[in-house]
A = this chain, B = another copy of it.
Amino acid sequence: MKKDKVVEIEEAVVRFAGDSGDGMQLTGSLFSDSTAFAGNDFATFPDFPSEIRAPQGTVSGVSGFQIHFGHKSIYTTGDLADVLVAMNPASLIANLKWVKNDAILIVNSDEFTDKNLEKAGYLTNPLDDETLSGHLVVQVPLNTLTYEAVKELDLDNKSVMKSKNMFALGIIFYLFNRDYTKTYSFFENKFKKNPLVVEANKKVLQAGYNFAETLEVIKNTFRIEKAELEKGRYRNVTGNQATAWGLMAAAERSGRNLFLGSYPITPATDILQELAKHKQFTCITQQAEDEIAGIVSTIGASYAGSMAVTTTSGPGLSLKSEAIGLAVMTELPMVIVDVQRGGPSTGLPTKSEQSDLMQALYGRNGDAPVIVIAATSATDAFYSAYEAAKLAMEHMTPVILLTDGSIGNGSEVFKIIKTADLPPINPPIAKANDPEYKPYKRNPQTLARQWAIPGTPGLRHRLGGLEKEDITGNVSHDPLNHEKMMQLRQEKVDKVADFIPELKIDGNEGADLLVVGWGSTYGVLMTTVEEMQNEGKSVSMVQFKHIMPLPKNVREVFSKFKKIVVCENNMGQFVNYLRMQLPEFRYEQYNKVQGLPFMVSELKQKFESLLNE
């Protein structure tokens, strides 16, 4: 029974949920690819436990993947889902709070056995009682149908069950009118060595699609128009991948080799893994014995003339603190990427948070200023990483780039650019035998010292963590020299404000409320503020990407608003930083520290109450 009715919609949120072994991340990313081919804009949000495969059927083992896609530009991963795929009772119970009131629930009814219901913590079967009322429940015996689909193939039980996620995907493809054959090439690539598995996956996917077609409960399918994106070539990137690519692009444009010294840590490891793949770009990755060795080898490589990078997440940044001080003192360029996660301590390692800001700004002994910038989205991570590297090298200083789990693991549509169109990078490399060279002589515009690279004739010099004499760089215990150097190091960072874009107000100057965010909250703040503006509310926003130094015009911008609210996923670190930097303004604050992104709905409520105060 082919449905004739195709409903045109603006956007949708689909959430895939199953056991850690059910392949939900893969299912989600194949659906993202298909969404991309369909020309929609989208953003994704993977949500998985810190265990690899917690016991099957339990809530702790549930792994989720959410995608928000649409015809307009998509800035968030979606508050609540329109469609939920639940591969077992545990995924249903764990995810029901994340779906809309009238969502479509596709559940694998084969798994709703007494044992599984008990494991999930259901006292009664939700498929039989009122639990799901209001929703459109599509019960699918996924196991049975998957077996059915491949019964003529000579496949072992385990392999069959491994492909049942494709049956679910087939259903969703049908629901959104997608061409499932586009996914075939993925199978052909991934299971190159096992044609039987390729065949099975194709069959199962197709079976799912066809099955959906026959389903009575599904009254209509949905179509979302191609997004109104700028003309050009596009691809799908995760934030971590984009970060890696931004760094590689900066290495290419600056003519330096890239060196990465890093120690694996969730959710930053992907950057290391991505860079490790690209030795052909003379991208040297060293998996260090720990985070300290990671950054210290980075300092060594920077001294030796590489575009040097270290990547980590919160606890790893803690371990790097002492060495960041050495980088500050030696004034060597490097990018330190912190993909923030839920803290403190080991905290919530697979959840996202913005709580390393203070650590990035101040987490080391002595007054040791560095540039701090924060990426605002997965695609922006590309540009932020590029800019971080450019600033590091041109200003001869470490730069801390803050992203977070939601950016790093999330994916978005990325417009492919030409590397040549990126701004040039010109590190101040000292010339061989330059008689004027002095290790701590500075460029008057940037206050950057020169980069004199070992092996270069005529520039031998020594660096180190003891206080250095101005100009000569000799060790100095002189009291006034120390004070001068403290000021110079701070001024060098402050002067970067001359080289970064000014803050841009989204909305009217002088609106009743200025919403302030930084980093990854951009999408959700933006969506909220735009919605409210469309509703006629007097709300504007600014999103900070440059944190140390702040853009030059902040004071001017803030002074145009009577009420300022700073929103962030921590206990109030940026708002406190603003209180320090711009004490003349009064700031309201709104914080969410749940390891989860803000929702448009909760932000709206907060802003409205502020407007009504």
**A interface residues, Cβ below 8 angstroms from B:** 49-50, 313-315, 317-319, 321-322, 325-326, 328-329, 340, 342-349, 351, 353, 355-356, 358-359, 361-368, 464-467, 477, 479-480, 482-483, 486, 489-490, 570-571, 573, 576-577, 579-580, 583, 586-587, 592-596
Contacts and interface: CB of A to CB of B under 8 A. Distances in A.
Contacts of A49: 477
Contacts of A595: 477, 479, 482
Contact of A483 (B317, B479, B489, B592): B592
The 9 closest A-B pairs by CB, nearest first: A343-B366, A314-B365, A344-B366, A479-B594, A346-B465, A344-B368, A345-B465, A358-B362, A325-B345
B365 A317 contact: yes
A346 B477 CA distance: 12
Given A319-B319, A351-B477, A362-B362, 18 more contacts: A318-B365, A325-B344, A325-B345, A328-B344, A329-B346, A345-B366, A345-B368, A346-B464, A347-B366, A348-B467, A359-B364, A361-B362, A363-B364, A479-B595, A482-B594, A486-B571, A579-B583, A583-B587
A490 B365 contact: no
Given A346-B329, A355-B367, A482-B594, A319 B317 contact: no
21 contacts: A314-B365, A314-B366, A315-B322, A321-B359, A343-B365, A344-B365, A344-B367, A345-B466, A347-B465, A351-B482, A356-B366, A362-B363, A367-B570, A367-B593, A482-B593, A482-B594, A483-B594, A486-B593, A490-B571, A580-B580, A583-B586
A317 B365 CA distance: 7
Contacts of A577: 580
Contacts of A342: 366, 467, 482
A363 B367 CA distance: 12
B364 A318 contact: yes
Given A318-B321, A480-B594, A596-B479, A326 B355 contact: no
Contacts of A328: 344-345
Contacts of A322: 315, 318-319, 345
A166 to B, nearest CB: 29
Nearest to A312: B365
A477 B593 CA distance: 12
Contacts of A580: 576-577, 579-580
A319 B359 CA distance: 13
A480 B348 CA distance: 12
A295 to B, nearest CB: 12
Contacts of A594: 479-480, 482-483
A120 to B, nearest CB: 16
A478 to B, nearest CB: 9
A216 to B, nearest CB: 37
A359 B356 contact: no
Nearest to A363: B363
